[in-house]
Amino acid sequence: MATLIFHSMAGSAYLWTAMMAADEKGVDYELSDLVLGSEAHLRLHPFGKMPVMQHGEVILYETQAITHYIDRAFDGPPLQPADALGQAQVLRWISQVNAYVFPVMNRFMKERLVRPAWGFEVDEAFLQSARDPLRLQIRLIGQAVADGGYLVGDRFTLADAFLLPHLLFFGRTPEGAALLKATPPAQAWLKMMTARPSYVGGAMAQAYVAFHALTGDSAPVWTGD
């Protein structure tokens, strides 16, 4: 049995963040598929979200808590700086991704690519209202990674693992591709992140390639090369 069990559906962006943290740390894990909203799911996560992490007797939900635990409980490269400001900047980015990036980028990508592919109506008003926040977000990301290459400092941290799934899939939309093209540091960050062993061959990379078959979009397919 693997050291960690992630209870989740395989296509969860937050699961991929947790898996990336475990891969970066060198901790093995397995996926235990859950049925969204089932009794078993709600026993593990009272708010019905995913992923939930299990480590022996320890059960944790909320990806920030899960990844922090993985970083602190196991040997391996630290995934957060030790100094107060560096750690605060990682926390600030995780909060920024959870509060602002995820709700806008993820929904934009779904409205723009997934809903039309499934034949559902698209919320054009949302797409319009998201344009300015998205421009701001890409500008802030570009500024953050311009110096050290990573969101915080010059090495991979949990902040990068939180942002990656959202920027990666947003980059498949025409608007995301255009914003990335206009923001070379953000594009360079994506290229670097998708070359990491913790991405290549992992669940996020597989979902990313499979996504092309669903949406047929023409954005570049990051496979780590």
Ligand X SMILES: N[C@@H](CCC(=O)N[C@@H](CS)C(=O)NCC(=O)O)C(=O)O
Residues making contact with ligand X (CB under 6 A): 12-14, 36, 48-50, 62-64
Nearer to ligand X, 142 or 176 (CB): 176
Q: Which is nearer to ligand X, 63 or 198 (CB)?
A: 63
In the complex, what is the shortest distance from the CB of residue 14 to ligand X, in angstroms, rounded to a whole number? 4
Residue closer to ligand X, measured from CB, 16 or 189? 16
Is 13 or 134 the residue whose CB approaches ligand X more closely?
13
Of 169 and 189, the one with the shorter C-beta distance to ligand X is: 169
Least distance between ligand X and beta carbon 82 (Å): 24
Cα angle 206, 208, 214; round to 5? 110
Distance of closest approach, residue 101 Cβ to ligand X, in angstroms: 12
- Tokens for 25? 């740390």
Dist. CA 216–CA 86, nearest whole Å: 40
Q: How far is the CB of 62 from ligand X (least distance, A)?
A: 5
Task: Compute the least distance from the CB of residue 147 to ligand X, in Å.
Answer: 28
